[in-house]
Structure formats: C-alpha cells, structure tokens
C-alpha cells in the first residue's frame, strides 16, 4: 500500500495481537485511502472485540472512519467492566473452553457450550440468534461479522480464564443455581423423590440438594464438593461485590 501515511499506536494489552515492531510504540503505516480504520486495525491483528476507543489526533472516531494522511491514531483496549447493552448478559463458549463453561455455570452464569465442534459459522450464528457473547481464543472466530458480541480469552489456564471473564464483564453471580452439565436451571430436590436414581452409598451418605430442570441430573454434596466450593468462595470474595 502506498496511500495516505498515518501513525498508529496500540494499548499495551493489545500488544499480543500485533507484530512485535508495533508493540509499545507509535509506528508509521501506509493505508490504502479506502479501508476503514476498523479494517486497518483488524488487518494489523487486533480483533475489534478487544478494541475500545479509537482516537484520531486525540478525538474519538467510529471504526467506519477512513484514515487520512497525517492522522495520528491511538487504539485503546476495551474498558473493564465492559457493558454489553441490548440483552441480558449470557455467553457462548467454543469447543476448547469446556472447563471455563462448567465453572461459569457453577457460579450461575448462563454459559452455552457444546463439547462437539459445530464450526465457526454455526457458533457465530448462535451468538447472533441468542444474543450471546462469544468467548474464544480463536481470533478468526472473533472476526466474524455475525457475532452479537465477542471476547478473546487471554489465558490457557481455566483459573485465569474465569477471573478474566468475571473481571471483564462482572456478571451477576448466583452459585449452585445452574446445571454444570447442560446449563439448565437447578431446582431444589427432595431426597425421597430422587432416591431411586442414586447409588446406595450416595443415598446413605449425602444430602441431595438440587436437580436440573432440563436434564434431570441430580446434585449432592459429594466428593468434588470441597473443590467446587473453593472456586465459588474465591469468586464471591473477589467478584461478588462488583456484580451486586
């Protein structure tokens, strides 16, 4: 490209998306004089889901702005907590984020997820249809125009992924109200009505506390309870207030 030359700089948190020479500094860029700033930013590697304000010579512009010669462009990251207006906050996770999906559900956050890979096109369509924020580590998926909203998940580690999503979106937390297997709502279960579904040892030892209204799965305080309870307590301690 040898059209208008601009200067562009990216917020530090966007550094991992752009080529090393453009990190942490203002660099020159030849544009084509036709492409929008949104397209220019995306073509340099930053998904627009991760981009907050776009400033030209210090003043905010829309992603549809077409850069002109001599402009100084500053690309900021999304503000946290991030608002997603237009629908109740709910999520859709790609096939690689199963652990994160179960943890969000454990906290009562609406998190759709299929362990089968339905493909980027179907995921993007579901995000649009159900107005769900698409969570993914796949930049190609996050570039899809059909998405209702999206967010890049920055870490490989489920602990950090959970903190990232809770900090970014501050969803209201309601632990132990959602089925970790299917995302359905839990209802209080009576031990007598579900006792024939339980193994004898379980029946004797544990108190059944919930049943899924969608898949009928029964929940009780069993072997994994302490580990799950630790996740819940940490989330409420660090993020419970933000969501209240």
Q: Judged by CB under 5 A, which of 77, 172, 184, 240 binds Zn ion?
A: 184
Q: Residue 158: how many CB atoms within 10 A of its CB?
A: 17
Distance CA 171, CA 165 (A): 9
Closest CB to Zn ion among 125 and 182?
182
Helix locations, the chain, DSSP H: 37-43, 98-106, 120-130, 139-142, 158-169, 191-194, 200-205, 225-243
Rounded to the nearest whole angstrom, what is the least distance from the CB of residue 210 to Zn ion in the complex? 10
Closest CB to Zn ion among 79 and 213?
213
* # residues near Zn ion by CB under 5 A: 8
Q: Judged by CB under 5 A, which of 214, 225, 230, 238 binds Zn ion?
A: 214
CB 174 within 8 A of CB 244: no
Instruction: Check binding of 179 to Zn ion (CB under 5 A).
Output: yes
Instruction: Check binding of 212 to Zn ion (CB under 5 A).
Output: yes
Closest CB to Zn ion among 98 and 184?
184
Distance CA 1, CA 132 (A): 37
Rounded to the nearest whole angstrom, what is the least distance from the CB of residue 181 to Zn ion in the complex? 5
Closest CB to Zn ion among 6 and 186?
186
Give the gyration radius of the chain's Cα atoms.
22
Closest CB to Zn ion among 107 and 147?
107
Backbone torsion region of residue 188, taken as left when φ is above 0, otherwise alpha when ψ lies between -120 and 50, otherwise beta = beta
CB 49 within 8 A of CB 16: no
Rounded to the nearest whole angstrom, what is the least distance from the CB of residue 227 to Zn ion in the complex? 20
Rounded to the nearest whole angstrom, what is the least distance from the CB of residue 207 to Zn ion in the complex? 19
Closest CB to Zn ion among 27 and 177?
177
Q: Which stretch binds Zn ion (CB under 5 A): 45-53, 136-144, 158-166, 214-222?
A: 214-222
Q: Which residues of 90-126 are buried (b: 16+ CB within 10 A; e: fewer)?
A: bbbbbbebeebbbbbbbbbbbbbbeeeeeebeebbeb
The contact set with Zn ion (CB under 5 A) reads 179, 181-182, 184, 212, 214-215, 217
């Amino acid at each position: 490209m040898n059209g208008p030359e601009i200067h562009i700089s990216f917020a530090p948190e966007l550094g991992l998306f752009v080529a090393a020479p453009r990190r942490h500094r203002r660099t020159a860029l030849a544009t084509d004089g036709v492409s929008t700033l949104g397209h220019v930013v995306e073509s340099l590697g930053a998904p627009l889901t991760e981009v907050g304000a776009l400033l030209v010579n210090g003043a905010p512009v829309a992603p549809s702005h077409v850069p002109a010669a001599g402009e100084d462009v500053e690309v900021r990251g999304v503000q946290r907590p991030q608002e997603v207006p237009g629908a109740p906050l709910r999520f859709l996770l790609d096939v690689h984020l199963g652990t994160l999906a179960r943890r969000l559900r454990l906290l009562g956050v609406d998190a759709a997820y299929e362990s089968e890979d339905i493909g980027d096109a179907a995921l993007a369509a579901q995000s649009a249809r159900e107005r769900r924020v698409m969570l993914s580590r796949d930049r190609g998926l996050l570039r899809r125009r059909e998405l209702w909203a999206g967010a890049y998940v920055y870490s490989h580690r489920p602990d950090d992924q959970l903190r990232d999503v809770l900090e970014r979106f501050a969803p209201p937390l309601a632990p132990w109200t959602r089925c970790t297997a299917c995302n359905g709502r839990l209802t209080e279960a009576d031990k007598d009505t579900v006792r024939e579904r339980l193994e004898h040892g379980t029946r004797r030892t544990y108190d059944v506390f919930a049943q899924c209204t969608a898949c009928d799965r029964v929940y009780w305080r069993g072997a994994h309870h302490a580990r799950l309870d630790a996740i819940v307590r940490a989330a409420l301690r660090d993020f419970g207030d933000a969501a209240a």
